[in-house]
Structure 1
Amino acid sequence: MYDEKISKKATRGIDRIGIKKFNEIEKDQLNIIFNKCNAGTYKFSPYVEKLQSKGRSKNPRLISVSTIRDRIVLYMLKEILHEIFPECVYRKLPNNYIKEIKEFYKISAHKHICYFKTDIKSFYDNIDHDILIGIIKTRVKSKKLINLIKYSLKTPTVPINYKKKDIKEYKRTYGVPQGLAISNILANIYLKEVDVKLEGIGIRYIRYVDDILIFIEEGDSSDIQGKVETVLSDYNLSLNVSKTECQLSDFEFEYLGYLLSKTRTSIKEANIERFITSVAGKFSSYLHNSEERIKKYPWLNQDIQQTVFVEDLNEKITGSLNEKRRYGWLFYFLEITDISLLHKLDGIISNFFTRLSDFGGVPPANLKKLAKAYYKAKYTPRGGYIHNYDNYETISEKMKYLGDRGYINPDKHYKKEDIDIIFNRVKRKRLSDLELDIGITS
């Protein structure tokens, strides 16, 4: 489990121990985990806070980063909870919910239907520990396991430079820390009874994390908000009034970054703009930083920089594959029917090349297209058109990838282990950046 799930994630916790160092002490650390968990004495180190951008004019999301040792325990806890609460393990991606909405529209095309859309206000921060533990206790009888879950909830999230004497300032009595292996399953366990109750008040109920969508008969729309508020209040939760709306389903509305109506499925304007801005940023970086890169990394000549620029731009356009997962803007929005939008965006990207004299002001022949990538992603994602990190199998392939981007010096000698660590770190950062392009926040 450690090699498969943990060792590839090199984020450091409060102890600042990275993967390379942990590998040297792995056996001792696993013994500590086993002995302390068995004795019921395992305690988590404070989580380190990491701020994750939610886009312009929004407060960042606070992510909690655990130590590698704690990460192993949290992963085991997650697996145990998955077995005990299998109905709370949601593996569907957001676009699967959009597909459900499209199918619902087909079967209710001639009915007078309203949609009610809202989200739960500061959901993770307002989860009541006592209520959550009470729900878990209905199936978990082990006191050691219950206490371990309690410790994971109450462990504070602190700045990296905090002083131990100030630890009380960061103690938590409410909320589930975000970013941990158990965060999602605990949140879904907390809402499992809420889901049952809300499913009973409409024709179709959909929830993705804290984003709620309910379809109802037109005559039932007047008191739907009150019913939802009553259900949530039983769990010390409230809906976000500023994000609550109820309209006839003939109207276009936004959900999970999509723009939906009975006649078309497109993308919310803010998410289109975010993607264009991200692409434009790559052009600006190339335009203004090429000479500086050559000074800093002498082996990065103009030909290499041009090749890498197009490769990385293509990755942003098509998204990427890694193991069994798909990443990127296009993969997220695969349920759109507004294909003309993709052609429009392809035109915008091509037009950006007029700023680059290195390319003669025209897009290169190997520039990939969103419209083509859309069909490839839908029907043959592993056919070769979409960038795939699984194709970097040998050390020489990984070294070329890293060297061409300035992460290593190709003239220096590196251990295989070091190349793997650097490659996985770079890959993880690039996949994370692809997800940021999506810009979906609750």
Structure 2
Amino acid sequence: MVTQLIACMMHILPGWKPDGSGHSRAQSHPEDKSMWGNIESDIYTLATAKIKSFEAYAKWVSDENGRRQKRTIGKPSPISAIRPEYWAHAPGHDPYHVRARQSTIAHSLTAKLRAGSYRPHSPSGYFVPKLGGGERLVSCFEIADEVVSRRLFTSLMSKNRARLSARAYAYRNDLTPHDALEYIASEFSRKQRIFVAEYDFRKFFDTIDQGNLLRLFDDLKLRVTSAERSIVEAFLSAPQPIVNPLPSLVHPGPRTRGIPQGTSVSLFLANVVVTPLDRRLESLGVGFVRYADDTLIWSHDYSSICRAVDELHAISKEIGAEINLSKSPGIHILTAENQAEMNSVTSVDYLGHTIRLTKLSMKSATERKILQRVDSLIYSNLLREPLNGTQNLARVSTEIDFDYVTFIWQLRRYLYGNLSESKLRKLESSTVPLMNFHGVMSYFPLVDDDEQLSNLDLAIISRTALALKKRSALLSPRLGYSAPPIWSLPKSELRYHVHKSPSSSNIDLRFPTLSIMSKVIRKAINTHGLGVVSGKVIGYNYKSN
């Protein structure tokens, strides 16, 4: 599982944005080199990004081993930096190998693109856990093939953006999931009650009818050259990925249904295949947002929402992906207090958020993940060594517990990103300049459920206070001197504690708070827009039910 998560981290690189270039023509116009021009540079850039991502992870492993060694008097088992398994499937996956041979690889790739004979290599794959349980198989193409896929995505998206619905938010560089959530919240806030329809496709990426998809290129009058279409068809025919291949294992034959998950061009294709649904919903006049196959529809008129659902079922047959009835709540009324004549709800879940008529919250699953991460920090910093009887008592003095200091710093980085407590408090009481925000709340910048955030803050500090009490009970008998004051502080004082040392500078140990971080991010968005945060949401990836 660790290797699979590392693979996921390494493959889906943060920070990449389409640059809008890459218009190519058919192979009969070799003077247009945009599809294959400067490919060596792109191969180097992508390989280097993967190397930097892995080396950042390896540095974290090294640093964590150092921190463990400081906390213990024993010999802790070291953590190892594990290379993603799929790197070993073929040399073209290994970024160190690819970067060392970038010129040769680029020359071969360019020749195939010029000749119109390009075909991606058979992909490897890895599993990522699905939110509802089980695993999802994600294709991992070789680095050179991913360069082609990204160029193709950039070209097709830049030329055809106007043909996509303004309410289709997936995989675009001009719209993000946060834009979708903001639009929903704006629409819902003006209603006392509203009909909503929630439906989900079953194995959407795996079951798409490829013939229907390619026909849509003509039906929607997409700007696609013959060279681009040929490359699209090549990626569509790539076989299912192989995980942990044996030397004698033969890759399966060409894919005949579905599109590969995990490569850039598939993101454009996923948008294209559901575009007819967008147009039919627009013609009905209902409200909707769509993120890939995840569609939320609403209307004040019951007959309109019923017609919209009829269109959804019709489209599912056309594209070849069935409606997953077991995961589709269907039509109901969204109200403020669950008072209605028919089946009603007070919230709907969408893109990792819980949406009500009056506020936007994190899903309960997200709350649990945040608390699990906090519990992990508490255990590794405050409880592991005392419970094992291996605590290095030199880390604890009558004045301060340095393991607690490390815990606060790590918790602050998780919640705040690179902001210090003093910097955050200053931003809270002043104008927020144009800047980028990080940390867990940057994935939930529109959440305005202050009660939920306050309860999370309380849960985090309560867990910490209990851990300090347990730490005190385990270590105080062994100290031989008075315990540091932090172990016995009540939560009300723990929240605002600053360690004041007569012999050195003060250490700011004020407890990090999601509520203040959220308040500052919302103020920044109000001033500068959603560009101050990442366009990603936690808990949403390629969807395959």
> Do both share a fold (TM > 0.5)?
yes
Equivalent of 2:357 in 262, 272, 275: 262
1:373 alignment counterpart = 517
Contact 2:232 2:265 in 1 (8 A): no
1:80 counterpart residue number: 155
Corresponding letter in the other structure for 1:310? I
Does the CA-based 8 Å contact 2:447-2:518 persist in structure 1?
A: no
After superposition, the C-alpha distances for 1:265-320 in whole angstroms (9 at most, x for unaligned) are 22222222222122212222334655999x9xx9x988886555433322322357
- For residues 204-262 of structure 1, the C-alpha deviation after alignment (integer angstroms, 9 at most, x for no partner) is 12111221111123331445433320133222233221223211221322222222222
> How much identity, in percent, do the aligned residues show?
19
Q: Note if 1:58 corresponds to 2:169.
A: no
Segments of 5+ residues of structure 1 without an aligned counterpart are 382-387, 389-430
Q: Match of 1:25?
A: 101
SS at the partner of 2:331? strand
Secondary structure of 1:182 counterpart:
helix
State the AA in 2 paired with 1:8. A
SS of the residue aligned with 1:360? Answer: helix
TM-score computed with the length of structure 2 as normaliser: 0.62
Is residue 2:331 matched to residue 1:246?
Answer: yes
Aligned residue type for 1:116? A
Aligned length: 381
Which range moves more in the overlay, 307-316 or 65-74?
Answer: 307-316
Which ranges in structure 2 are unaligned for 5 or more consecutive residues? 1-41, 52-83, 165-170, 336-344, 420-434, 473-485, 498-508, 526-531
1:45 aligns with 2:121: yes
- Superposition deviation, residue 141 in structure 1: 5.7
Between 1:307-316 and 1:337-346, the stretch displaced more is: 307-316
> Aligned to 1:246, what secondary structure does the other structure show?
strand
Looking at structure 2, the residues matched to 258 and 166 of structure 1 have their Cα atoms a distance apart, in angstroms, of 43
* Partner residue of 2:257 out of 174, 180, 183: 174
Judge which range, 214-223 or 235-244, deviates more.
214-223
2:297 is the counterpart of 1:214: yes
Taking the aligned partners of 2:125 and 2:96, their CA distance within structure 1 comes to 22
More deviation in 340-349 or 274-283? 274-283
Q: State how far apart, in whole Å, the 2-side matches of 1:290 and 1:182 are.
A: 48
Alpha-carbon distance in 2 for matches of 1:232, 1:326:
39
**Does 2:180 correspond to 1:97?**
yes
Matched, 1:115 2:196: yes
- SS at structure 2 position matched to 1:115: strand
Determine the structure 1 residue equivalent to 2:450: 339
Does structure 2 retain, via aligned residues, the 8 Å contact 1:318–1:330?
yes
| Residue 165 (structure 1) shift | 4.5
Q: Which residue of structure 2 aligns with residue 419 of structure 1?
A: none
- Indicate conservation of the 8 Å contact 1:6/1:72, yes or no: no
Q: Distance in 2 between matches of 1:304 and 1:267?
A: 33
Structure-2 change in CA distance of 1:93 and 1:319 (3 Å): farther
Matched letter for residue 456 of structure 2: L
> Deviation per CA, 1:114-137, whole angstroms, max 9, x where unpaired?
111112221111122122222235
Q: Conserved in 1, the CA contact under 8 Å of 2:160 and 2:223?
A: no
Cα RMSD, aligned residues only: 3.4
SS across alignment from 1:378: helix
Alpha-carbon deviation of 1:51? 1.0
Closer/same/farther in 2, CA of residues 276 and 167 from structure 1, 3 Å limit: same
Max Rg structure: 2
1:135 aligns with 2:216: yes
Per-residue deviation, residues 322-353 of structure 1 (Å, max 9, x unmatched): xx986654223222221121121111111222
CA distance in 2 between counterparts of 1:59 and 1:273 reads 19
Letter in 1 for 2:523: Y
Shift, 1:378, TM fit:
2.7
Match of 1:439 among 518, 536, 539: 539
The CA deviation string for residues 356-389 of structure 1, in whole angstroms up to 9 with x for no partner, is 43862665614421111112223349xxxxxx9x
Which whole-Å CA distance do the structure 1 matches of 2:157 and 2:47 have between them? 18
Q: Judging changes above 3 Å, is the alpha-carbon distance between structure 1 residues 18 and 283 closer, same or farther for their aligned structure 2 residues?
A: same
Cα distance between partner residues in 2 of 1:147 and 1:262? 47
Q: Is the contact between residue 416 and residue 438 of structure 2 (CA under 8 Å) also seen in structure 1?
A: no
